[in-house]
Chain A
Amino acid sequence: MDFRRQLSAELPVLRRFARALTGDPALADDLVQDCLERAMLKSHLYDPSRPLRAWLFTMLRNLHISGLRRSGRATVVKTVDDLVDGEGAVPPEQEQRLAAGSVSEALERLSPQHREVIVLVGLEEMSYRDVSEILGVPVGTVMSRLSRAREQMRQLLEDRGHTGLRRVK
């Protein structure tokens, strides 16, 4: 019943989600803080029959998106469905930066809409249905984004593998 206790139980997972979404510990915790404040302010709007985690993820994700908009990276975010195929979205300057990159660097190179879907499904293990509600898009869209995100991820990780091999030589 105690809402604050429930929030606090979700805190570790919320922080993990924010960390993976932003790739930046300080930024992630700022986001979590905004999210907690908002959650407490809007607690009366929370429908207890729905999972609290999905509600919090939705809020945090929306705060993150509006943060990206403010910092002028909105072009990538805006209508996701415009990004039919190819989904460029990885700025060229980042292209060179992936040296012996880790999975988090690969994640950072995905477009925000690919990153969020792969984080929600792959890391947070949310169901497609929950993800569709969190992102506000149909399940079919979740799946096609997921498919593209995983393919890009595979290529990025492969590139990274090659770099590693060359180094070893």
Chain B
Amino acid sequence: MTNEPNDHMEDWALHAYADGELSSEQRHEVEARLARDPEAARKVADWKRQRALLKSAFDGVLGEPVPPQLAATLRQRAAPSSVSPWLAMAAAMLLLLFGGLGGWFLKGGTLPVMEADLGRQALEAHSVFAVEVRHPVEVPGSDSDHLQAWLSKRVGTAFTVPDLTEQGYALLGGRLLAGNDGAAAMLMYEDHEGQRLSVLLSTPGTDVETALKVEEQGKLIACTWQDGKLAVAVVGEMAREPMMVLAKAVYEKLEG
């Protein structure tokens, strides 16, 4: 506040000197200045003192034992997830491709009603929003951190917005929908031909792992499954095989 603008400019060299940002040549110049400018020398000494004070105030943290909850967090995901729903999914795929059963492969033997709903919901949502040229999403994919934080929060469980670039789909963004089980997140992707793919995520309130289910409606195809708390539907207008590849990518990337 008392600095003249010019001082300010020159101060930058002093800061850079104090922070080890200068080349050796520049350093010598500043050192020469410090030798003949007591005010500059005082400033640099003062910043050194600040650094020493900061270190003395906070370096103690480095030696503290790691709090148990943090250690637990680090361990928590260390164990590989016990069951791989993907195995079941792969089996379902075989059934679909070769068995011609055209439908279910269930691990528990019970019919998860939720999943059936989710598939229908996802198909409906896709037909409504995928045709939107100008406003397909509420939050653009360019703001993916915000999108992820916001939708994770609203849906009630953290997830990673899958990056489907390798599969040829760019993220357009996402929106929030009212699902049967509360808030549902819809992510919308587009390939270079403008074909859209949507991923619907919701938390039906159960914690199970189901196998993959495929539903078709006209030209649309939906793949649904539940992995833990998160129920997922992938919808697009395409044949089964490419859909399977995409569903597998989404499955793997949601896990993060």
A residues with CB within 8 A of B: 4, 7-8, 11-13, 15-16, 19-20, 29, 32-33, 36-38, 40-45, 62, 66, 85-86, 102-104, 107, 118-119, 121-123, 125, 127-128, 143-144, 146-147, 150-151, 153-154, 157
Contacts and interface: CB of A to CB of B under 8 A. Distances in A.
Contact of B15 (A4, A103, A104, A150): A150
Nearest to A29: B67
B50 A29 contact: no
Contact of B3 (A7, A44, A107, A151): A151
Contact of B73 (A37, A107, A122, A143): A37
A29 B69 contact: yes
B19 A16 contact: no
B39 to A, nearest CB: 13
A80 B62 CA distance: 30
Contacts of A15: 61-62, 64, 70
Contacts of B12: 143-144, 147
Contact of B11 (A19, A121, A128, A147): A147
From B1, B74, B78, residue with most partner A Cβ within 10 Å: B74
Contact of B16 (A40, A107, A128): A128
Closest 3 CB pairs of A and B: A103-B53, A16-B61, A123-B54
Q: Is the interface of A mostly helix, strand, loop or mixed?
A: helix
B61 A119 contact: no
B170 to A, nearest CB: 16
A159 B227 CA distance: 58
14 contacts: A4-B74, A8-B66, A16-B62, A20-B58, A36-B73, A37-B158, A40-B77, A103-B50, A103-B57, A121-B19, A122-B51, A143-B16, A147-B15, A150-B47
Given A7-B74, A143-B16, A128 B21 contact: yes
B121 interface: no
A66 to B, nearest CB: 7
Contact of A154 (B11, B46, B56, B63): B46
B53 A42 contact: no
A43 B70 CA distance: 17
Contacts of A157: 50, 53
B74 A12 contact: no
A19 B58 contact: yes
A19 B73 contact: no
Contacts of B253: 44
Nearest to B253: A44
B57 A104 contact: yes
Contacts of B53: 103, 157
Interface in B1-37: 1, 3, 8, 11-12, 15-16, 19, 21
